[in-house]
Chain A
Amino acid sequence: MTHVSTSTEDLKPHERYVPASHWRNAYDEADGAKLGMWLFLSTEILLFAGFFCAYAVFRMLYPGVWADASHYYLDWRIGGFNTLVLLLSSFTVVLAIRGAQTNRPAMTNINLIITIICALVFLVLKLGWEYYPKWVHDELPGGNFAYHSHSILEAGGYVPGSHDNIFLSIYWIATGTHGVHVLIGAFLLTWCLWLNMKGFYGPKHYTSLENVGLYWHIVDIIWIFLFPLLYLV
């Protein structure tokens, strides 16, 4: 008995992982968790589908406003850079999972750190260079929106339309909800990093890392739809 217990203590956490007692084996457990995650992701898509529907309806109602307001209020360069940042982070999160599959914890660590940095860069750009200037210029959603003379002057002749506020409403709630998802993703990735540092991920067990990776991809994909619809119309 003593011999067995010392040898399991020598193993890393992921090597002595046993599935919860109601699962028949670790494979079923991981498979079930992944199915659950996919179901959750489908709810995320449907959640954002609400925004996309609202977007489609109002774009149909006010097509001119949509084109002008997008160019006037949003800077495609910031949005585009953020798109690249998220694409890079999606790549590194895959590498982090690969690191767990091939038993290279250092590779997982470094890639998770890059992913987290990407998430933070995205949020800082969003908050500092997009939300903050809009906030001070009262370019706010719906009823909080206010026209300022500087807007008209700086726009080189563009006069804000009467339904710019609706465009900004969609912009704020869609990107805001997405931003909250990025923030949650950053926390989840940090949690994965912590678990990986304690040796919980290895070739036989990396379920939560893989699921957080899936979540991160959905956050990325949603942005890939939001970016052209909001910035490039």
Chain B
Amino acid sequence: MSHHDVSYLAPKENWRKTALSWIFTIDHKKIGVMYLFAVLFAFFLGGVFALMVRMELWAPKVTLPSGEVQGVAFDSLPWFGGAIEGNTLYNHLFSLHGTIMVFLFIIPSIPAALGNIFLPIMLGAKDVAFPRLNLLSWYVYLLGGFFALVSLMSFGNETGWTFYTPYSTATEYGSVTAMVLAAFILGFSSIFTGMNFIVTVHKLRVPGMGWFDMPLFIWAIYATAVIQVLATPVLGITLLMLVFERTMNIGIFDPAIGGDPVLFQHFFWFYSHPAVYIMILPGMGIISELISVHARKKIFGYRAIAFSSIAIAAISFLVWGHHMFASETAIANAIFSALTFFVAVPTAIKVFNWVATLYKGSIVINTPMLYAMAFLFCFTIGGLTGPPLATLATDIHLHDTYFVVAHFHYVMMGGTVLAFVGGLHHWWPKFTGRMYNEKLAMLGCVLVFIGFNLTFFTQFFLGSEGMPRRYATYVEEFQMLHRLSTMGSWILGVGFLVHLGVFVASIAAGRPASRNPWGGLTLEWYTESPPIEHNFPHEPVLTHGPYDFDTVVPPHCDPKDYPLPDPKEVEKFSH
């Protein structure tokens, strides 16, 4: 047995060699696992800020400490002049929540962690196309995280995650420059990952795997990678100009010396609108896997789902103007509004196909399937609250209210985060080699689902009644809804803590996982759990499609782990 045949997690001869084997690894699985730890840490950090934001909104008045009750720590910082407003501190909290969640957690979450671990295995490859570039992308991510942390230590930013000019160029608070640099650097990490994945999908598919034999997760990651490569550079140059503006006063975005602040908005959304599809598309890919595997049914409309991923990627570049209905001409608004509705078409195609896959499937209720269903519920709400925001007449009313906040969180959290946690449970046995406690994980899922809906559904009402976003205070009529939302955030927090406990218990004392605990058909279920260093002892031979549950008995699958459907029932419905 050569050293390539042992688990990628197996320790080396001594601890120093083990540490070095992780620090200098070019193994996509190890890089993915390191990314996973980092993004989960960022998720925790952003989550803490979110809980603080919700706490502040418990009462209508400013509850954060204000000028008079300053601690020593605040007084010593020069840019406050010895005093800080509770309002400012609130701006600070929601900005940090947004910036960390978007740039450090949600953009790298699925592609860089789960994508890195599973994309090459699902393609039957030994590694990604450029393993060293992959390692570089991880260290660039760390460098970006370091800058974010430096900024955090010196009070970060209170510009919101959008860094709108001219406020972001003028504000003296904290260290906006470091945070903008962090986002700029993290963009490179994202570009490198995207380039790597595109080339891997093009060049390293196992012989016999055509484009339409790929798992749908790969299609989604591929579409994401295209956006990462084509949109992120524009953010890069925008943020670079913002840094120049702050450090060298170049004035491009500064109206005082002839610059144009709206130009910043165009640049920013030209990236950041496609970026929300960088965030959601991989989640959609995970859902395709979860639903097909845990309903043991061939995915309905494979090509429609695959092409809709590409369609979403293409349309994403044409709709950035709908973030700027308040600062554009009427004609631009009309065009962007019309184009925005097109996004609903491929998205709805996906949702209908997932529901059709479930129809008469042999559905097993476990954590991944619960998360898939929670995704369908929440994401559909998130999706359907999009058209009112794309419609000019209603958007004028809803613009910059909690309705937007709720819509965004229903798509990003109810979409991406639920899919991410579901995918984490789905692939957990594969990449850790351990099973987790199904009952407790399902409890966590139920708590997250209840907490999430309580937190954000209330915000739709707040928004349509006129509660603007990003305010620390509100009129007393809103108090009940705000308190419900805050209580929801606690349930949400407890739910995630349950998941954390389940994962820790699984690593410490989980039952060893078999090769194929769920009875999946994609290539990752053919290798060991956890996979060996080169993924497969020999190049795998592809004998069936990724979802041929009607014709193929899943390999290495123990029916005791996962009951197979009654053959008579299958027979009844197959004609």
Chain A residues within CB distance 8 Å of chain B? 20-23, 28, 31-33, 35-36, 39-40, 42-44, 46-51, 53-54, 57-58, 61-62, 141-144, 162-163, 165-166, 169-170, 172-173, 177
> Would you give the shortest CB distance from B235 to chain A, in whole angstroms?
9
| A20–B27 alpha-carbon span in the complex (Å) | 13
Which residues of chain B (115-132) have a CB below 8 Å from chain A?
125-127, 129-131
Chain B residues closer than 8 Å to A43, beta-carbon distance: 191, 195, 229-230, 232-233
Q: Contact check, B203 vs A28: say whether CB atoms are below 8 A apart.
A: yes
Q: Contact check, B129 vs A142: say whether CB atoms are below 8 A apart.
A: no
- 19 contacts across the A-B interface (CB closer than 8 A): A22-B125, A22-B131, A35-B203, A36-B130, A36-B195, A43-B195, A46-B230, A46-B231, A46-B237, A49-B234, A57-B263, A58-B252, A142-B249, A143-B257, A144-B248, A163-B258, A169-B251, A169-B259, A173-B250
B260's nearest neighbour on chain A, judged by CB, is: A57
> Would you give the shortest CB distance from A63 to chain B, in whole angstroms?
13
Which residues of chain B (244-292) have a CB below 8 Å from chain A?
244-245, 248-252, 254, 257-260, 263, 266-267
Chain B residues closer than 8 Å to A173, beta-carbon distance: 241, 244, 250, 252
| In the complex, B17 has a CB within 8 A of chain A | no
A36's nearest neighbour on chain B, judged by CB, is: B199
| A92–B250 alpha-carbon span in the complex (Å) | 37
Chain A residues closer than 8 Å to B303, beta-carbon distance: none
| In the complex, B236 has a CB within 8 A of chain A | yes
| A207–B138 alpha-carbon span in the complex (Å) | 24
Q: Contact check, A47 vs B258: say whether CB atoms are below 8 A apart.
A: no
B256's nearest neighbour on chain A, judged by CB, is: A143
- Dominant secondary structure of chain B at its interface with chain A: helix
Q: Contact check, A54 vs B263: say whether CB atoms are below 8 A apart.
A: yes
Chain B residues within CB distance 8 Å of chain A? 125-127, 129-131, 133, 191, 194-196, 198-199, 202-204, 229-234, 236-238, 240-241, 244-245, 248-252, 254, 257-260, 263, 266-267, 534
**Total contacts A to B, CB within 8 angstroms?**
117
Q: Contact check, B248 vs A142: say whether CB atoms are below 8 A apart.
A: yes
For the A-B complex with A57-B260, A142-B257 known, give 19 more contacts whose Cβ atoms are closer than 8 Å: A22-B127, A31-B203, A33-B130, A36-B129, A36-B133, A36-B195, A36-B196, A39-B198, A43-B191, A49-B234, A50-B241, A54-B252, A57-B263, A142-B248, A143-B254, A144-B248, A163-B258, A166-B252, A169-B259
| A173–B234 alpha-carbon span in the complex (Å) | 15
Chain B residues closer than 8 Å to A28, beta-carbon distance: 203
Chain B residues closer than 8 Å to A40, beta-carbon distance: 195
| A44–B257 alpha-carbon span in the complex (Å) | 29
> Would you give the shortest CB distance from B461 to chain A, in whole angstroms?
40
> Would you give the shortest CB distance from B32 to chain A, in whole angstroms?
15
Q: Contact check, A22 vs B204: say whether CB atoms are below 8 A apart.
A: yes
| A53–B241 alpha-carbon span in the complex (Å) | 13
| A177–B184 alpha-carbon span in the complex (Å) | 15
| A54–B395 alpha-carbon span in the complex (Å) | 28
Chain A residues closer than 8 Å to B202, beta-carbon distance: 32, 35
> Would you give the shortest CB distance from B550 to chain A, in whole angstroms?
32
